[in-house]
Amino acid sequence: MASHDHLIDAARRLGQRFRHDAVRAEDRGPADGEDALWPAEDEFSLAGATDWLNSPPLTGADLRGRVVLVDFRTYTCINWLRSLPHVRAWEEAYHDSGLVVVGVHSPEFSFEHDVDNVRRAMGDRSIGHPVAIDDQFAVWRSFHNHFWPARYLVDAAGRLRHHSFGEGGYEEDEAVLRQLLGEAGAGDLGPEPVPVDARGIEAPADWDTLRSAETYLGYDRTAGFASSPDVVPDRPHTYTAPERLRLGHWSLAGSWTVGAESSSSTEPGGRLTCRFHARDLHLVVAPPAGATVRFRVRLDGRDPGPDHGLDVDGTGSGSGTVTEPRLYQLLRRRGAVTSGTVEVEFLDPGVAVYALTFG
């Protein structure tokens, strides 16, 4: 919808003013065109959520007397996934002292509006705390939020006291959290910081070697498309990939339909190629309804071997299957990190690719 596109554009412009690290947070969700980071009211609101997971609907009044961590997320966001171990650790350590975590799922991609997809994704992450389904971005706007992930701390009186955006800042978050619990009368909170168990796709990025930025694969937000011809929007077309790619560029080969938010293969054998510099490479991808899609990954023209990601066959052959719409880890490099070229060949038609992310 045009109005939604306008909101995304406004959020992108406004978000750049507040972004503290362009790699470590996303700022592309809808905004209301104002510069304020905080609600006009003193108290926070969860009004406007279209559904709730793990809880009946909650209000600020319901949570009065508890310290609340409001965690904005969209389930395919790698930045949120890498922040989750910290939120999980705080919830486990401080729940009995009065902390309540409330997730707010404000979707980035169209398939993230499907509450069944969100429910499955939260279950996959063993998330048991309340999650507000914010499909219309009502809660997002009430906080004047611009980022995935974003963390807001609310004191026991219902007042917003602290915020942090993206990855990092965890020590300050925890210090403020403990301060607010102390103000609310909590007793001994134990040592800080609490231990954090971050593994698999939730492990921290290798920031020292990361040179690649998130790459969107639909024409609304993409950059660095290198196939011939240039993008033919919204209809099937046969693309040819160049022999070599520059760092940060990507290409399609075979028959694809390039849409606003994703590119969809229309025949078996479609290929997606990207030149990147990072330890980890992830792909946000969805199969056609009721089907699965087999794929094979090549790194610099070879099977990835020990550099395979969590969603690629552990034998190192590079094979995998897209079974549901989510973020898939295709590569986690074990040795020295250098620039490389990844090629993903989809052996079945109908797959939709949304974004490449790195770590």
333: its two tokens:
């490099």
Tell me the C-alpha to C-alpha distance, in Å, between residue 16 and each of 28, 40, 66: 10, 21, 33
User: Domain spanning 215-358 has what CATH number?
Assistant: 2.60.120.260
3-state secondary structure of 115: helix
Model pLDDT, residue 314: 86
Tracing tokens 């990207």 back to the chain, one arrives at 274
Q: Give me 348's structure tokens.
A: 């079945």
CA distances from 161 to 35, 151, 153, 312, 336 (A): 18, 11, 6, 43, 42
Which residues contact residue 184 at a Cβ distance below 8 angstroms, ignoring those fewer than 6 apart? Answer: 65, 66, 67, 98, 155, 156
Whether the Cβ atoms of residue 80 and residue 74 lie closer than 8 Å to each other: yes
Residue ranges of domains in the chain: 2-202, 215-358
Decide if 106 contacts 26 (C-beta within 8 A).
Answer: no
Domains 2-202 and 215-358 share a fold: no
Token reading at 12: 């992108």
Task: Work out the end-to-end distance of the chain between its first and last CA atoms, rounded to an integer number of angstroms.
Answer: 32
Give the per-residue pLDDT at 114: 98
The domain 2-202: what is its CATH number?
3.40.30.10
So what's the pLDDT on residue 18?
30
pLDDT truncated to tens, each residue of the chain (359 aa)? 333 333 333 333 333 223 233 335 565 554 443 333 444 445 789 999 999 999 999 999 999 999 999 999 999 999 999 999 999 999 999 999 999 999 999 999 999 999 999 999 999 999 999 999 999 999 999 999 999 999 999 999 999 999 999 999 999 999 999 999 999 999 999 999 999 999 999 999 999 999 999 999 999 999 999 999 999 999 999 999 999 999 999 999 999 999 999 999 999 999 999 999 999 999 999 999 999 999 999 999 999 999 999 999 988 789 999 999 999 999 999 999 999 999 999 999 999 999 999 99
Asked whether 264 and 276 are in contact (CB, 8 A), the reply is no
Q: Which residue has the tokens 């965690």?
A: 71
- The Cα-based distances of 60 to 51, 100, 156, 168, 269 in angstroms read 16, 12, 10, 27, 52
**Beta-ladder partners of 334:** none
Cα 124-129-135 angle, rounded to 5 deg: 80
- pLDDT score of 7: 36
- Cα 279 from Cα 307, distance rounded (Å): 9
Helices within 158-237 (DSSP H only) = 170-183
Instruction: For tokens 């490449």, name the residue.
Output: 356
Q: Which among 334, 21, 338 has a CA at the least distance from the CA of 211?
A: 338
Name the helix (H) or strand (E) containing 271. strand 270-276
Do 218 and 262 form a contact (C-beta atoms < 8 A)?
yes
